């Protein structure tokens, strides 16, 4: 009788890539740690080698709490000149390592920590791999008084921007700002797009990570972890 194994769940794929990311951590490292459900699996894996990790720089209050709970000290980004590695997930990643991030509302701090790192290791399941960015609604952190003006600018590009809500009220980020989620974009030149939107008054951070792109992506697939380098 032959038996067939059931396909891995998305949760199992996340755990698999979280574990695989440990090979990019060297003893004594200060590790940049992102935010989200896949990163939570990485933090769980970090707990198994926490004695080798000197400290972490975190991209959100939620990740900071998880890291401290497993006994890893968390440093302020201002206390660190450089990180060897930053590990984070993505909402989408294309064939060049360009990403859309910010589904968890931590995009500004994620971009700040990513900019400190020599290597960005993206951990994701294969559903996040796309040919062109834009199917996932693009998160943009904005200063609240500029939200409608920015929404009109996206409308001129063919996008529909909606204010992200939580419990019926505008979601407030760790930085005290709001998030617009923009549907209907097709981002064919992520570097130029990121540079342009960064210039709009009131934009804090756009969730295109092209200037801080992934160096490596560990992609969880049915046949195991696929390592993509860019």
Is 220 known to sit in a ligand binding site? no
Least Cα distance to 230 among 114, 88, 122, 108 occurs for 122
Is 11 known to sit in a ligand binding site? no
Q: What is the DSSP letter of 187?
A: B
Whole-angstrom distance, CA of residue 205 vs CA of residue 178: 11
Is 38 known to sit in a ligand binding site? yes
Is 110 labeled as catalytic in the residue annotation? yes
Is 104 known to sit in a ligand binding site? yes
66-73: long-range contacts, CB 8 A cutoff, minimum separation 24: 66/40, 67/33, 67/43, 70/43, 70/46, 71/47, 72/46
Is 213 known to sit in a ligand binding site? no
Is 103 known to sit in a ligand binding site? yes
Is 202 known to sit in a ligand binding site? no
The tokens for 122 are 């993206």
- Please tell me which residue in 92, 110, 141, 194 is annotated as part of the active site: 110
Whole-angstrom distance, CA of residue 126 vs CA of residue 74: 30
Is 69 known to sit in a ligand binding site? no
Contact 220, 16 (CB under 8 A): yes
User: Which residues belong to the active site?
Assistant: 110
Binding positions for substrate: 35-38, 88-91, 101-104, 128
């Amino acid at each position: 009788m032959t038996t067939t194994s059931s396909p891995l769940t998305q949760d199992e794929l996340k755990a698999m890539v979280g574990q695989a990311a440990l090979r990019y951590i060297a003893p004594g490292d200060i590790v940049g740690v992102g935010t989200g459900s896949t990163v939570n699996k990485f933090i769980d894996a970090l707990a198994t080698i926490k004695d080798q990790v000197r400290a972490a720089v975190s991209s959100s209050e939620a990740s900071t709490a998880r890291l401290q709970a497993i006994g890893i000290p968390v440093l302020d980004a201002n206390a660190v000149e450089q990180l060897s590695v930053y590990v984070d997930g993505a909402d989408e990643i294309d064939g060049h390592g360009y990403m859309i991030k910010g589904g968890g509302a931590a995009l500004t701090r994620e971009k700040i920590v990513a900019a400190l790192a020599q290597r960005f290791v993206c951990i994701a399941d294969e559903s996040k791999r796309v040919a062109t960015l834009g199917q996932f609604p693009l998160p943009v952190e904005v200063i609240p008084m500029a939200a409608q003006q920015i929404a009109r600018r996206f409308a001129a590009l063919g996008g529909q921007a909606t204010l992200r809500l939580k419990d019926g009220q505008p979601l407030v980020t760790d930085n005290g700002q709001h998030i617009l989620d923009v549907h209907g974009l097709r981002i064919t030149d992520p570097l130029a797009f990121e540079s342009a939107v960064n210039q709009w008054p009131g934009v804090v951070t756009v969730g295109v990570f092209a200037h801080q792109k992934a160096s490596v992506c560990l992609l969880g697939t049915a046949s195991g972890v696929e390592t993509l380098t860019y």
